[in-house]
Amino acid sequence: MSEPLILPPLSAAWGSVRLPGSKSISNRMLLLAALAEGTTEIFDLLDSDDTRVMLDALRKLGVGVTAIGTDAWRIEGCRGKFPVTEADLFMGNAGTAIRPLTAALALSGGHYRLSGVPRMHERPIGDLLDGLRQIGADVRCAGNEGFPPLEIFPASIHLAGPIRLRGDVSSQFLTALLMALPLTGEELVIELTTELISKPYVEITLNLMARFGVSVEREGWQRFRIVGGQRYRSPGQLHVEGDASSASYFLAAGAIAGGPVRVEGVGRNSIQGDVRFAEALESLGASILRGENFIEARAPVAGQLKAFDLDFNHIPDAAMTLAVVALFTNGRCVLRNIGSWRVKETDRISAMATELRKFGAVVEEGDDWLAVSPAPSLRRAVAVDTYDDHRMAMCFSLVALAGAPVSINDPGCVAKTFPGYFDAFASVTVPVIAIDGPSASGKGTVAARVAQALGFHYLDSGALYRLTALAATRAGKALDDEPGVAALARVLPARFEGDRVFLDGEDVSDAIRSEEMSVGASRVAVLPAVRAGLLARQRAWRRFPGLVADGRDMGSVVFPGAEVKVFLTASAEARAERRYKQLIGKGLPANMHALLQDLQERDARDAQRREAPLRQSDDAIGVDTTLMNIEEALAAVMAIVRKRLP
C-alpha cells in the first residue's frame, strides 16, 4: 500500500491533459497481434499494471515482444500457435487480460495455469467457461467452480451448433470468445441467452478484429456469426487512442469547476463507448466541445450542474465518475443499471456508497442502482479508502474541487491504468499565479518571494530561454537556426534545485545571467518552434500545492487560465539603474548608457515578435514599480494574490 496523498483544497480546473492509451484497446490489440500472422507495431500503448500483465503473459508464451520506443511495441504474431505450450501465468487483477487469454489458450492445444491477485479469484468467469466447454475445451477451476485460478488442458475442439452464452455479468466473456474463435478457422455462431451489458466494449472488439482482417456478422446484440476460413493478419502499424474512461475525471473537473479542461487523444470519432460520458455531462448542463482528437468540458453557464436520473449500462466505468459528480449537483441523482459494478475490481456499488457517505451525502443503494443526494455542505478533511480500485482513487480526487482537503488512501492503486494520474490531475487543478513583465522589472525577485510566502513552486521561465541559448551556443548552433535550436529546447537536460540551475549536471546559474545570454535568450525566444518546444516543460511545473510563474507569456499563453495575473513593469531608466547596481554590487564592470540601450533593444525584440509578444493582457493587473523598492513591490503583488486566491 502506498502512503496516503493529501489533496489541497482546490477551487478551479482549467488546462489540457494528454491522455494515456486506452486500456481496452491496448490489451485487445496486443492479443490480436500475437494471434495474427505477421508483425504488428503498436504505438501509444498504455503503460500500466494491466498492460504489463498482458505483455508479460505473451512473453512467457514465447511471443516475440520488443519495445521499439516510448510506449511503442513490436509483436511477432504466432498465428494462434503459442511457441510455449506449458506455462504458469500471473494475471494480477486484469480482467481485460485473463478473459480473452483464457479463451485463446483453451483453443491452442497447450497446458496452462492462470491465476491472479485474491480479488481476481473472486471475479466470475463461469459464463465464459460454459461457452468454451460447449466446443470441447478443457478448462478447470483450481479453486471455486466458476472462478480463477484456472487450469487449461489440451483438448480436441468440436463444433456443434451455436455456442450459448450469458451476457449479463460481463461483456468480456463475449469479447473473449469472439477474439478466440477465429483461431478454429470454422464457421461459428454465438447466441446470447440474456441481455448483453456494456455493448460499446463489444463494439471495440469487433472494430479491432476487423482491423486484423476478421469480420463478424451480428443480428442485433443476440447472435454473432463468424464466417469460417478467416484468419487474423497483421495490419502492420496501429495506434492506440487515448483512454476515454480516464478522460472522464478531467472532463468532470472542467464541468464542476469552471473549465475549460481539454483531454487530448480521443475525439468525436473515437471507437470507445466511454466518450459518451461527455453526453451525460451535457445533460447535466455542462458545455462540451468535440474535435477530431480532443474533447473539452466547461461548467454550465448557469453555474451549477443539474441532478440526473440516468441508465449507465453502456458506460459502467465512466459512470463511477458521475457518482462523485453527483455531490456537485443540485439534487438527488440516480445511477441505474450498474449491476456489473459488483464484480469489478471491488464491489463498486458498496465501496462508492460507503465513501460518499463519509462526506455527508445521503446514499441509497440497490442491487443494480445507486442514488446520491449531495450534502448541504460537504464534510471536510475526509480520508477516502480506495479498495485497491484505481477508479475509486481517481473519482474521489474530484472532491477536492469542493474547496476542502481530501486524503486518498493508497493512491498508488491508480497504476492499474494510469500511473501518472495525480500529476495529470494537478496539471489542470493547481492554482497558478502568473507574473509577466519586461526584463529587470523586479518580477523574478517578487515571484520567487511570493512562491516562498505561499509554499508554492516557482518557475523562472526566462531561465529556460537562457538555458536554450547557452545550450545552442555550446553546440555551435546559430541562434536563428529555428529547427536546430528547437530540437535542443525540446530535450534540454535542465535541472532546477533551489535557486541553482544545472545544464547536463553542470551548475550554470551564473553563466546564464551574463549579458551575452540575456541577448541570446531574447533572440531564441522569437522563434515559434522554440517556444512550442518549451511549452510542455513549463506546464509540467503546475504541481501541488500551487505555482508562481514569471516570464513574458505566463498569463497569456502558457497558463491562460491562471487564477492571478500580474503585469509588473517599470520605466526603462529605473530598470537599467537596478541592473547597474546589481552588477556593481557583484564587483562587475557596468556602463549605465550601454545597459539602458541593451534593455531597450531587448524590450523592442520581446514586444515586436510575432509569437507571444511582451504586452499586458486585458485580464492582467498592472503594477508599476518605478517608484517602489522590492518590499513595496512584493506587498503590492501579495495584496492582489490575497484578494484572488481563497
Binding interface with ligand DC (CB under 6 A): 439, 461-462, 465-466, 521-522, 525, 551-553, 602, 606
Reply yes or no on whether 71 is catalytic: no
Residue 592 in grid coordinates: 549605465
Q: What is the dihedral of CA 462, 468, 471, 473, to 10 degrees?
A: -90
| Beta carbon nearer to ligand DC, 41 or 606 | 606
Q: Return the DSSP state at 384.
A: E
Q: In what order do the strands lie in the sheet with 564-569?
A: 457-460, 547-551, 432-436, 564-569, 621-624
Helix (H) or strand (E) holding 537: helix 528-539
Q: Is 430 exposed, middle or buried (0-12, 13-18, 19+ CB in 10 A)?
A: buried
- Check: CB of residue 51 under 8 Å from CB of residue 73: no
Q: At what angle do helices 515-524 and 461-474 cross, to 10 degrees?
A: 100
Amino acid 259 reads G
Q: How far is the CB of 611 from ligand DC (least distance, A)?
A: 9
| Beta carbon nearer to ligand DC, 123 or 531 | 531
DSSP β-bridge partners for residue 623: 568
Angstrom distance (rounded) from CA 310 to CA 370: 11
| Beta carbon nearer to ligand DC, 98 or 447 | 447
Question: Of 243, 317, 388, 606, which one is the catalytic site residue?
Answer: 317
Of 465, 467, 519, 635, nearest to 566 by C-alpha is: 635
- Angstrom CA distances, 132 to 128, 146, 180, 596, stand at 6, 12, 10, 82
Q: How far is the CB of 480 from ligand DC (least distance, A)?
A: 15
| Beta carbon nearer to ligand DC, 256 or 549 | 549
Q: In what order do the strands lie in the sheet with 294-298?
A: 13-18, 258-264, 294-298, 287-290
Sign of CA pseudo-dihedral 49, 55, 58, 59? negative
| Beta carbon nearer to ligand DC, 422 or 465 | 465
| Beta carbon nearer to ligand DC, 259 or 462 | 462
Tell the residue number behind the cell numbers 486484423, with chain if given. Answer: 212
Q: Is 132 exposed, middle or buried (0-12, 13-18, 19+ CB in 10 A)?
A: buried
Backbone phi, psi, residue 598, to 5°: -60, -45
- Angstrom CA distances, 529 to 26, 281, 390, 534, stand at 32, 36, 37, 9
Q: How far is the CB of 463 from ligand DC (least distance, A)?
A: 6
| Beta carbon nearer to ligand DC, 404 or 488 | 488
- Rg (C-alpha) for the chain, rounded Å, is 29
- Check: CB of residue 79 under 8 Å from CB of residue 37: yes
| Beta carbon nearer to ligand DC, 327 or 525 | 525
Q: How far is the CB of 451 from ligand DC (least distance, A)?
A: 15
Decide the pairing of beta strands 500-503 and 506-507. Answer: antiparallel
Of 229, 181, 175, nearest to 207 by C-alpha is: 175
Angstrom distance (rounded) from CA 304 to CA 234: 49
| Beta carbon nearer to ligand DC, 99 or 466 | 466
- Check: CB of residue 173 under 8 Å from CB of residue 127: yes
Q: How many residues does the chain have?
A: 646
| Beta carbon nearer to ligand DC, 533 or 551 | 551
Residue 426 C-beta-side C-alpha neighbours within 13 Å = 19
Q: How far is the CB of 362 from ligand DC (least distance, A)?
A: 49
Q: What angle do CA 554, 510, 573 make, to 5 degrees?
A: 60
Q: How far is the CB of 588 from ligand DC (least distance, A)?
A: 17
Residue 47 C-beta-side C-alpha neighbours within 13 Å = 10
Residue 383 in grid coordinates: 480520508
Q: How far is the CB of 550 from ligand DC (least distance, A)?
A: 7
Q: Is 586 exposed, middle or buried (0-12, 13-18, 19+ CB in 10 A)?
A: exposed
| Beta carbon nearer to ligand DC, 410 or 606 | 606
Q: How far is the CB of 553 from ligand DC (least distance, A)?
A: 5
Instruction: Provide CB contacts within 8 A for 618, sequence distance 6+.
Output: none
Q: CA 180: distance to chain centroid?
A: 31
Query: What positions carry a catalytic annotation?
Result: 317
